[in-house]
Amino acid sequence: MKIGIIGAGPRGLLMLNNLIQNFESSDHDNLTIHLFDRAVAGGRVWKVKQPISLIMNTPANELSLFDDGQKDALSISEWCQSNISKEFINSLDVDNKDELLTAVNKINDRSYVPRAICGAYCQWFFQQLVEQIKDNDNINLAVHFNQNVDNVEKVKNDSFVVSVGDVDYPVDKLVFSLGQQENKLTKDQESLQKYANDYGLTYILPGEADEADLSTITSDQNVIIRGMGLSFNDFVSRLTEGRGGHFTDNGDDTLTYHASGDEPTIYAGSRRGVPYYPKAISQKAFNENYPAVFLTNENVDKHLKDGHISFEDFHMLLRLDIEYRYYSFLFSLKHPEIDVEDFQKKFKETDNHNALIGSYHLPTEEVFDWDKILNPVAGVKISTLDNYQEHIKTWLKEMIDDALLGSKTGPVIGSLEMLRDLRDNIRYVLSNHLFTNDDLVHKYLGRFSSDMKFLSQGAPAVRSQEILALMDAGIVKIIGPQMQVIGANHKFITRSAFYGEEIIQVDALIEARTNAPVTKVSANPVITSMMDNGLIKPLPITLSDGETVDNSSVDIDIKTDQVIGQPNLYTWGLNTEGLYFVTSAIPRPGVNDSILRAGDDIAKGLLDIPVENPTIYM
């Protein structure tokens, strides 16, 4: 039996682990596993050689590659705080070893880990799997690292040939999880790239922030950063701390930035015009989740009509869960006169939540306003760039203060943390096709998906503190909503539609985001070759008017994660984004994480082991 795994990032390593764990329960006498990746174990995102200042946005104690209950399992937090991590890092042949050791010594359960440290953890985890295979005479592992898979082709008996350069590797079954990847350029990107080449400007396409060449950006230049999510923070870090500047703590939850003189002036913006919400200081145990009260599977099923829940009902249930946590935290923090347990009981039972909240006679600014949460600058009069800075700084300071209270204390950020705990509930709706196709395309895949990233996938609070310090230092300026960018007068030009007369000319434009994992526009040769060879296709969605549009996901059977029409081909992870929800996450230990369950199911399918209760959402 020969099985191929394309992609050695976290999902690929999880699959390797599950194949090893499940092999003895299969009817196969021997197993050869081919593991392919154009980088090394951990993949491209989690490389060890990247700036130590680039950090994850999940606490260390909530990350693990081991199955729950697996022998000798260590979460990233446990690994970092053990001598095992120091010994392993010392064994690495890397030139940033001292940085890694310094960083790993600072990590506790609630730390936000440098991505380079996560990469070291991935490599150590892989080493443990290699040692297990060495002890098993019936399993062989063939590693193909630092090589590109150029072609995947089906041959007789529904088996495959994976081609790497001039070498072909036949496998009986294949699973791929490719992680972040390149896409074909859009017309706008092609135009901007050509403009940059014609006039000697710098244009950074979407991709990994640590890999971008920023050497052409000098301290006397202005730079546009388009996008204000995680990649925005990474690029800002590289252009400031990465150039010799540093922050000092003022002792009052604020920072001061000390410039090196090598920083450019950064103009950052997006359609929304607001940086992502910060992550709270974690107060949760590694296995602590807040269960849904309203967006439960049972409540969703009660709202089904003709097998579907309306997007409005779904959104109402989700908002109620957020509001339930918000007021619970608010009353505990600021209103000792209110019995929190009594409030919770009433909020669960009432049919008129607005009237219940009104009965507490709260100040207007304390009443949860979903529209204000989604658009923090709604109603703000924006007249100039300088004027807008003051509004953003005020909002950032409020959100930082809330985040620093902690994930079980801060009313706003603590309640938004609930969105992480609701992921499986959202996955239940998505993967069981409980939206109508029209609601899925026009409401969920459009604005809602963007909103969820804005609310729940931001960087740790320290990043917002740094942005605020850089704004105070005049190095970072935030452009107002509806940012527009064009090439003109031999420069890149940007402005906010809210104050269109104020034009900013720059020498460099950075697209601060990774490529969306869209099957149809992928430029990854694994995807394109399988598309060309008829092995995979995007998941089609037929709308009520007869129009068919493509989901970003590969078309798969949600009960098995097999590619439709290909019984021996499986995929999971980012290649299924759009069908599943938040497919880039690393599993969380101790909570029966659906990612771990799905990995176990797929491994059993690959090994022809029956799966009694398949995980159909992850």
Tens-place pLDDT, residues 438-492: 999 999 997 899 999 999 999 999 999 999 999 999 999 999 999 999 999 999 9
Q: How many domains does the chain have?
A: 3
Distance CA 150, CA 153 (A): 10
Percent of the chain with pLDDT over 70: 99
Domain membership flag for residue 482: yes
Q: Is the pLDDT of residue 374 over 80?
A: yes
> Is position 615 within any domain?
no
Question: Side by side, which strands form the sheet with 151-154?
Answer: 151-154, 160-164, 167-171
The predicted pLDDT at position 500 comes to 84
At 175-233, the pLDDT tens digits run 999 988 899 999 999 999 999 999 999 999 999 999 999 999 999 999 999 999 999 99
Is 36 inside a domain boundary? yes
Average pLDDT over residues 285-306: 95
The helix/strand/coil state of 128 is helix
Please check the confidence at residue 614 and state whether its pLDDT lies above 90.
Answer: no
219 in any annotated domain = yes
Instruction: Give me the count of residues in the chain.
Output: 618
pLDDT tier, 366 (very low <50, low <70, confident <90, very high otherwise): very high
Same domain, 313 and 445: yes
**Same domain as 573, residue 467:** no
Mean pLDDT, all residues of the chain: 96
71 and 144, same domain (yes or no): yes
Claim to verify: residue 236 and residue 364 sit in the same structural domain: no
Give the pair of three-digit tokens for residue 262. Answer: 């090598």
Determine the structural domain holding residue 65 and report its residue range.
Answer: 2-182+517-606
Residue 44 token pair: 């491209």
Of 595, 580, 551, 566, nearest to 160 (Cα)? Answer: 566
Give yes or no for a contact between 290 and 421, defined as CB atoms under 8 angstroms apart: yes
Q: Which residues contact 173 (CB under 8 A, 6 or more apart)?
A: 1, 2, 3, 4, 159, 160, 568, 569, 570, 606
Shared domain for 148 and 191, answered yes or no, is: no
Q: Determine the 3-state secondary structure of 385 from DSSP.
A: helix
Domain check: are 525 and 601 in the same one? yes
Mean pLDDT in residue range 297-312: 97
Same domain, 476 and 336: no
Average pLDDT over residues 290-305: 96
* Cα–Cα distance for residue pair 123/88, rounded to 1 Å: 9
pLDDT of 617 over the 60 cut: no
Q: What pLDDT is attached to residue 446?
A: 79
Give every strand in the sheet of 556-557, ordered side by side. 139-145, 31-37, 2-6, 173-176, 569-571, 562-563, 556-557
Q: CATH number of the domain that 258 lies in?
A: 3.50.50.60
Claim to verify: residue 90 and residue 165 sit in the same structural domain: yes
pLDDT higher than threshold 80 for residue 616: no
Q: Flag whether pLDDT at 18 surpasses 60.
A: yes
CA-based end-to-end distance of the chain: 27
Burial class (CB in 10 A: 0-12, 13-18, 19+), 193: middle
SS3 content of the chain, % helix, strand, coil (to 5): 40, 20, 40
Answer yes or no: is pLDDT of 615 > 90: no
Instruction: Compute CA distances 509 → 77, 225, 271, 384, 504, whole Å.
Output: 37, 6, 16, 21, 12
pTM of the model: 0.95
Comparing CA positions, the residue from 545, 581, 196, 280 lying closest to residue 424 is 581
Beta strand 562-563 pairing with 556-557: antiparallel
> In the predicted model, is pLDDT for residue 300 greater than 90?
yes
Please say which residue of 434, 456, 478 terminates a domain. 456
Q: Are residues 80 and 133 in the same domain?
A: yes
Mean of pLDDT values over 245-270: 98
- CA proximity to 65, closest of 125, 21, 114, 119: 125
Report yes or no on 256 lying in a domain: yes
CA 612 remoteness from chain centre: 30
User: Could you tell me the two tokens for 231?
Assistant: 């990649």
| 328 and 401 part of one domain | yes
Q: How would DSSP label each residue in 446-471? A: IIIHHHHHHHHS--BHHHHHHHHHHH
Is residue 354 pLDDT above 70, yes or no? yes
Tokens of 490: 């031999």
Model confidence at 618, pLDDT cuts 50, 70, 90, reads very low
Q: Is 215 exposed, middle or buried (0-12, 13-18, 19+ CB in 10 A)?
A: exposed
CA distances from 205 to 38, 143, 449 (A): 20, 31, 22
> 194 and 110 share a domain?
no
Q: Is 207 helix (H, G, I), strand (E, B) or coil?
A: coil
Taking 90 as the threshold, does the pLDDT of residue 293 lie above it? yes
- Using only C-alpha atoms, the chain has a radius of gyration, in whole angstroms, of 25
The whole-number average pLDDT for the span 388-405 is 97
β-strand partners of 559: none
Backbone phi, then psi, for 288, in 5-degree steps?
-100, 120
The last residue of a domain, from among 471, 491, 511: 511
Q: Is residue 103 assigned to a domain?
A: yes
Using an 8 Å Cβ cutoff, are 605 and 561 in contact? yes
287: in domain: no
Answer yes or no: is 283 within a domain: no
Examine the fold and report which residue of 472, 496, 511 is the final residue of a domain before the chain moves on. Answer: 511
Averaged pLDDT, 80-97? 97
Residues 124, 152, single domain; the answer is yes
Residue 243: is its pLDDT beyond 50? yes
